Amino acid sequence: MTSDATTAVLEAVGAHRPTSREPLTGGTYNTVTRVTFEDGRDWVVKVPPAHSGGLSHELRLLVNEVTFYDAAASAGGAAIPRVVHSELDPEAPCGAYVVMTACPGRPWSALAGDLTADETHVLRTGFGHLVGRLHGVTGPGGFGYPAEPFGPLSPTWREAFTAMTDAVLADAEAYGARLPRPVEQIREVLAGAVDVLDEVTRPALVHFDLWEGNLLVAGDPGARRIGGIVDGERMFWGDPVADLVSTHLFGDPEADPAFLAGYASATGGPLVFTPSVRRRLALYRCYLYLIMLTETVPRGAGAEALALTWQEVAPRLVMALDGLAAASHPGLGQDLRKDRRRAASSDG
């Protein structure tokens, strides 16, 4: 199926007889193949799954991806793949696909154990600078996913983000996903904090999947650099603070001086973690963690993957929810902390 889909795309774009094909693993949604040709062309072909199942926001993800690469091209330079061919209509003869130039390097996650402290510092600084440049890109006048899975882009970030969280909570209910709090309680906590989103008035370019598996590191030891930022399909127009959830997946962006220095060098000033920024960051953590817990169902995650996701994600979702509740409604925050202590006691 993988070979057939890639072959059909190559035939559709008139690219015949490649010299090599290499399936690229690491993703969990699309089929991705690196294709090279005798004339030096080096492409990546991405084809979405034929099935329609998934989370509500995953409708026509390639629209988001093409939008990201086009919007990020000037800010990210050579680190951003260039779209060579694309078909975004799933009903087209070959279905939807995108063909893009391949960026140099290997996933940072695969190289992390080989990097020296100095190399890591340089990479974190360069990464921060790139992210800061990307966040300087402004959208076309609305907030949300370019694929518009919930309708047209919203006039406010509060409206867009509420639609996003409502959708993933509805998905969790529909799939019967295991969550550490009842859906209604989660919805109440989120609703009590969204007023802070009114401070966001510019729809910035947000990748929202900037973990080290989507960052390519190029160069020889001692001369490492960010070679590419890939997998832009989760992007949206929104609050740039949201990207800090994945740039520091399960970590603390405030404890990353190299990244913050690089970011400041691109934006012209330091990123200040005000109470507002921290509340917004907690909201975006909740959104990502809800996605991570819910998507295990439609993707058919095995027992080991389910256990690992629950172990890593569920406690962090609880902490983010409790922090929001405590800041927005002290009484509710106390109730949630009591629930957490009772749950910990029963687990023990």
Where do the domains of the chain lie?
2-101, 106-347
| pLDDT per residue as tens digits for the range 252-280 | 999 999 999 999 999 999 999 999 999 99
Spell out a b/e string for 173-182, using b for 16 or more CB atoms within 10 Å of the CB, else e. eeeebebbbe
All residue ranges of the chain with pLDDT < 70 are: 1-3, 26-29, 51-53, 329-348
CATH architecture of the domain with range 106-347: Alpha-Beta Complex (3.90)
Q: Which pLDDT does position 2 carry in this prediction?
A: 46
Q: Which pLDDT does position 346 carry in this prediction?
A: 45
Q: Which pLDDT does position 338 carry in this prediction?
A: 57
Q: Which pLDDT does position 330 carry in this prediction?
A: 59
Q: Which pLDDT does position 17 carry in this prediction?
A: 85
Q: Which pLDDT does position 31 carry in this prediction?
A: 86
| pLDDT per residue as tens digits for the range 28-55 | 567 899 999 999 999 999 998 776 568 9
Q: Which CATH superfamily is domain 2-101 in?
A: Phosphorylase Kinase; domain 1 (3.30.200.20)
